[in-house]
């Protein structure tokens, strides 16, 4: 098995090194984004909001506030910002502005690096095609300069290089395209979840506003804030 792979890369010529580097870069991106999307961001904002609302209604906002600080997920960062502003007595409009500002920092975390997979897929396909052209050029050039005894060997070597680089380019491009589609779908889900969660929590805060139009807080919550200061 190892000898077959080694021979495959050896017969593919110099473009195989380029394709190997592209494949390694794609693997790193796929692993990093998969971990971020499915592990770091695995907690949906709906469950986080439910916990925050429960703590606020029970008058123990500090417990959930400390729990949110342990999470690095974008949804937790937005809720943490909203909860901090709410507990400091800001109006809903001020909380909304702070959440939008935090979203400008968090949404790029969800968007970064995924589109590189599409770029790698295209570059790998083109690099494989370029390697094919060079391999065919070498094959046909050998017919003009080589003697009859070595023409067949040189022709076979050039065609082998052409076919191997084509195959390697597709072997890199196809997994990258599949991974890009899957991760891009997950990215859209997380961004939609982030928008929905932020809106739901802001609506919850509006429902808690005092008659004078300020963000409401239960007496227990105010006591907890006073105890922290």
Q: What is 5-22 written as a DSSP string? A: HHHHHHHT-THHHHHHHH
* Domain annotation covers residue 46: yes
For the chain, what is the radius of gyration of the CA atoms? Answer: 28
What predicted TM-score, i.e. pTM, was given to this entire model?
0.77
Say if CB 204 and CB 152 are below 8 A apart.
no
Spatial CA neighbour of 158 closest among 125, 129, 127, 131: 131
- Distance between terminal CA atoms of the chain? 66
Tokens of 24: 């390694």
* Domain annotation covers residue 9: no
* Domain annotation covers residue 159: no
Half-sphere exposure of 157 (CA within 13 A, CB side): 11
pLDDT band for position 136 (50/70/90)? confident
> What local confidence, expressed as pLDDT, does residue 62 receive?
57
pLDDT, one tens digit per residue, over 171-218 is 999 999 999 999 999 999 999 888 888 888 888 888 766 444 444 433
**Rounded Cα distance, 132 and 136, in Å:** 6
> What local confidence, expressed as pLDDT, does residue 146 receive?
62
Q: Which residues of 49-198 form beta strands (DSSP E)?
A: none
| 127 has pLDDT over 80 | yes
* Domain annotation covers residue 151: no
Between 226 and 174, the more confident residue is 174
Burial grade of 205 (CB within 10 A; 0-12, 13-18, 19 or more): buried
Lowest mean pLDDT segment, chosen from 1-10, 39-48, 82-91: 1-10
Say if CB 83 and CB 64 are below 8 A apart.
yes
* Domain annotation covers residue 163: no
Long-range CB contacts (within 8 A, 24+) of 25-29: 25/116, 25/120, 26/117, 26/120, 26/172, 26/175, 26/176, 26/179, 29/113, 29/114, 29/116, 29/117, 29/120
pLDDT band for position 81 (50/70/90)? confident
How many structural domains are present in the chain? 1
Half-sphere exposure of 112 (CA within 13 A, CB side): 7
* Domain annotation covers residue 120: yes
Show the domain range for 89. 19-66+74-129+174-222
| 43 has pLDDT over 80 | no
> What local confidence, expressed as pLDDT, does residue 80 receive?
85
The overall average pLDDT reported for the chain is: 80
Say if CB 13 and CB 158 are below 8 A apart.
no
* Domain annotation covers residue 98: yes
* Domain annotation covers residue 211: yes
């Amino acid at each position: 098995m190892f000898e077959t792979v080694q021979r495959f890369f050896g017969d593919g010529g110099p473009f195989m090194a380029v394709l190997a580097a592209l494949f390694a870069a794609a693997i790193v991106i796929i692993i990093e984004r998969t971990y971020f999307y499915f592990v770091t961001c695995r907690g949906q904002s709906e469950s986080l909001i439910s916990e925050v609302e429960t703590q606020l209604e029970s008058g123990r906002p500090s417990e959930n506030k400390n729990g949110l600080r342990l999470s690095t997920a974008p949804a937790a960062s937005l809720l943490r910002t909203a909860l901090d502003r709410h507990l400091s007595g800001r109006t809903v409009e001020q909380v909304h502005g702070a959440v939008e500002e935090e979203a400008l920092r968090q949404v790029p975390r969800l968007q970064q690096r995924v589109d590189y997979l599409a770029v790698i897929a295209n570059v790998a396909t083109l690099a494989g095609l370029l390697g094919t052209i060079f391999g065919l050029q070498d094959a046909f050039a050998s017919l003009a300069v080589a003697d009859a005894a070595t023409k067949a060997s040189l022709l076979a070597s050039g065609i082998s290089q052409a076919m191997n680089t084509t195959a390697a380019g597709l072997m890199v491009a196809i997994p990258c395209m599949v991974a890009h589609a899957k991760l891009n779908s997950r990215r859209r889900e997380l961004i939609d979840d982030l928008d929905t969660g932020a809106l739901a929590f802001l609506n919850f805060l509006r429902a808690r506003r005092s008659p004078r139009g300020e963000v409401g807080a239960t007496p227990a919550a105010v006591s907890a804030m006073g105890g922290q200061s």
